[in-house]
Structure 1
Amino acid sequence: MAALTKDADFWMNLNVCHLGTMMGCLPMMYGFYTNMQTIFSAGKHSFWHCVDGLLPCAIIVIYFFFSFKFTRAAWHMPALVVFAMGSFLTLMGSRVIIATVTKSKFSTFKDFHLATPILFGIAVMPLNKVLGLNEVAIFVFILVGSMVMYFYYILNVIDQICEALDINCLTIKHKKTK
């Protein structure tokens, strides 16, 4: 009976941040659904190419589901859940933009190591009842790990662009003297 009262109190104490987070998920799910319709109906790419492009979205949906299903911290600090996912989302968005600009194929599997922090979090959340890790620490690890992967990717892209254009980044390239 005490657990039922505790859960009822929890639902009664939802604040604006919780409501905003939950409402923010609705447009994301609608966007995911409409993107799936658009991608699969266009017929430009193979089915597996489309699935590969939607994999980051699926990872984000699974992350949200596992976060709120298996952790209490997600319910008490939903902004932490969103911020931890934000770095991964930004990374994947950047990769899609770079792939589009360079007219290369976007593949989640090509640089799968970039998704390691969020996949680690997804794997650890259900196991946390056994492991007993601090839930906030899991989200902080996902946040910091995704940011590190994002910065690694960006620095790698900058290096590749500088190499392709034969320029130095943020420095003046001196002319070779004869």
Structure 2
Amino acid sequence: MLFTSLLATASVVGSASAFSILSPGGPNLWWVAGSENTLVWTCHDNPPAQTFQLLLNNTSPTVLTSAEAILANLPNADCSQSITTQQVNLAPATGYTLIIADQTDQTKIYAVSDQFEVKAVGSAFPATSATPTGSSSVSATASGSGSAPSASTSTGSGANTSSATGFKTSLAGVFGVAAVAFGML
């Protein structure tokens, strides 16, 4: 099924608590090409299903022409998953998003990550402390060459966004992906 037709009928399943992707996403939580990378989500915040599938998308059709299924049977109870180079070949670029969808129906989208970058092979990973956790504020300092920018993120609600903001972010991500898929951006 082409991803454009998937997005034409996609619906985001909302909930009172924000089920969301914590990492990667945003300017301080990137992945590295040619490496094992980790996906982290809020598995305890009103999970939509016990298992789901994971898709990778990019805003640029020169990077990915359509969303690519990475995993078909991702168990929610794990709260994180290592993504290997055998599961996906990542090209260094910006504009990536991850999509958690129903295991059998890709049109039921449960969460969309914030956009993130895949850095070149051999780049430094973000500090482990940069990934938001379920209960407290997180302060992180990125490491690498040059100056080290620092960021502070409050996660008092157990996610990197509030329920309302997380749902709006998910909707914005889905519609942004749809706009790209239909050539509107």
Same fold (TM over 0.5): no
Bigger relative contact order, structure 1 or 2 (CA pairs below 8 A, ≥6 apart): 2
Q: Indicate the structure with greater strand content.
A: 2
What is the TM-score when the length of structure 2 is the normalising length?
0.28
Structure label with greater radius of gyration: 1
Q: Indicate the structure with greater helix content.
A: 1
